[in-house]
Amino acid sequence: MREHPFELALDPSPDVPIFVQITRALIEDIRRGRLRPGAALPGSRALARSLGVHRNTVVAAYRELAAQGWVETRSATMTYVSTTMPDVPRRRASPTTLGTIAARAGFDLPARVSAGGWGTEAPPGAIVFSGGMPDLRLLPTEILARAYRRVLRGSARRLFEYGDARGDDRLRAALADMLASVRGLGASAGDVLVTRGSQMALDLCARALLGPGDVVAVEALGYRPAWEALAQTGARLVPLPVDAEGLSIDALAALVAREPVRAVYVTPHHQYPSTALLSPARRIRLLDLARAHRMAILEDDYDHEFHYDGRPVLPLASADRAGVVVYIGTLSKILAPGLRIGFVVAPAPLVERLAAIRTFVDRQGDLALERAVAELLEDGEVQRHTRRMRRIYQARRDVLTEALRSSLGDAVELAPPPGGMAMWVRVAPGIDVDAWAERALARGVVIHPARRFAFDGRSRPFFRAGFAALDEREIHEGITRLRAALPTKGATRAAS
């Protein structure tokens, strides 16, 4: 630096080549106005001497700058800042911030997206009564791996090319067969669109069906990520009451009498989170209302196979003759959420529209994985795994029911749900369920109080406790911790 007044702040990282460091430093000097358009840069020999590097290193940096359009050469020895660069005021820059991403966006962000608060941060070693997770320890990973290897050996090249946005054709056919045999849907492969999980399915349906100002009826207790996906379109969500028979159809009828309703989002099989089953009379009325008012029913059937007492009630879509039901399902509960296999079953015109939108969002799914899952369905492996999990989850439901009653019978009231992967537990009067959840978290156990699922965010005397992902020992240990965290009646969060 003593031989030339030109100073250059280089990147201190030893992993970055010197010529790249010189290039970046000069670009930053141009950007912040220290080097103005037309300014002469030091000769390569002079700059090399001042930096203590080989001349070829500086020459390589200058060539890179020229290739990117930052500098121009007017003679064999002189290099100048390009005159096409805008002249900017000089500003100071700290070398420690070079190459970093700005901490704040330099543009306005709409306030609509609000996913915060949905996840609960669990401490290490916590027992989480998660309401929607299968036990991933029981996933037949070796069977899945074998299917994936077979697929890669058999048709790897085609499955790594661009494919159908609706999903792998064999998986769509296999899903249609499963839905016909187990869920009573007379669907063909052409009626099925495979997505990356049911959340994408719902998002695509929202994009295809809704616009700003459209009214969408939702359950007042429900799944917040679904509400957010619907709200991203600018639609106006109207919460309707839920009771022991599911969504209030009287409330929906009153709403459609007042104003047009574009769609209703409903979880009729195991209402989320209360696990209530939509009664037969309400199912009939809901289909009639939708047909009469040309209203789409977004039916989210997220855990259909896990029904323990009697046979599962068939989906609304199985009784739909007017083409008003858009059926959304997933294999996340049967297999694993990380596989991201969801699907939509709908009239063909909507499926085509969803596929068109999907090409602009995600282009297509993981066709190799989809083909591997298709083989597992075709071979009956998924069905066998489902039957095994149904027996295990039913036993775990019974263990949790007995543990709650024996250890917390004075604090809770519950009826074991006929199906699903979680139960809805009422707490005794005088117990602050939110304070209980906070105290439980401090003791390494996670439960989800009702306000987490409430559209209005208000507290209610319930919590949701999942059992599918926990074995018998974990359930008993979790309830022991929950008992130890029980606040005295009348305790508040501030007091806890």
Residues 275 and 305 in one domain: yes
Over the stretch 186-223, which tens digit does the pLDDT of each residue have?
A: 999 999 999 999 999 999 999 999 999 999 999 999 99
- Report which of 346, 299, 328 is spatially closest to residue 201, judged by C-alpha positions: 328
Of 349, 379, 409, the residue at which a domain comes to its end is 379
Residue 281 located in a structural domain: yes
In a domain, 491, yes or no: no
Q: Are residues 336 and 413 in the same domain?
A: no
**Residue 160, domain member (yes or no):** yes
Q: Is 427 a member of any domain? A: yes
Q: Is the dihedral of CA 9, 13, 19, 21 positive or negative?
A: negative
Q: How many helices (H) and strands (E) does the chain have?
A: 14, 18
Residue 377 above 90 pLDDT? yes
Phi, psi values for residue 307, rounded to 5°: -125, 130
Q: Does residue 336 sit within a domain?
A: yes
Is residue 496 included in any domain, yes or no? no
Is there a single domain that holds both residue 431 and residue 367? no
With cut-offs at 50, 70 and 90, classify the pLDDT of residue 112: low
CATH code of the domain covering residue 48: 1.10.10.10
pLDDT value at 247 more than 50? yes
Instruction: Summarize pLDDT for 1-18 with one digit per residue, the tens.
Output: 344 457 787 766 667 888
Residues 354 and 389 in one domain: no
Q: Are 367 and 223 in the same domain?
A: yes
Residues 49, 175: one domain? no
**CA-based nearest residue to 28, from 46, 12, 11, 6:** 11
Give the contacts of 62 (CB within 8 A, at least 6 positions apart). 41, 44, 71, 73, 79
Do 247 and 260 fall within a single domain?
Answer: yes
97 band by pLDDT with thresholds 50, 70 and 90: very low
- Whether 254 and 366 share a structural domain: yes
Q: Are residues 84 and 162 in the same domain?
A: no
> Both 344 and 226 in a single domain?
yes
421 lies in the same domain as 373 = no
Q: Could you list the residue range(s) of the whole structural domain that residue 430 is in?
A: 127-135+384-484
Asked if the model's pLDDT at residue 450 lies above 80, the reply is yes
Per the structure, how many domains does the chain have?
Answer: 3
Domain assignment present for 192: yes
The CATH number given to whatever domain includes residue 461 is 3.90.1150.10
Mean pLDDT for 396-400 is: 97
In terms of Cα–Cα distance, which of 38, 92, 27 is closest to 65?
27
Strand partners, 464: 424, 448
Residue 321 in contact with residue 305, Cβ under 8 Å?
A: no
Higher per-residue confidence, 93 vs 79: 79
Find which of 20-29, 277-286, 483-492 is predicted with most confidence, using mean pLDDT: 277-286
Both tokens of 347, joined, read 């009239």
CB contact at 8 A, 316 and 269: no
CA 308 to chain CA mean position, Å: 28
pLDDT tens digits, 323-365: 999 999 999 999 999 999 999 999 999 999 999 999 998 989 9
Q: Residue 425 pLDDT more than 60?
A: yes
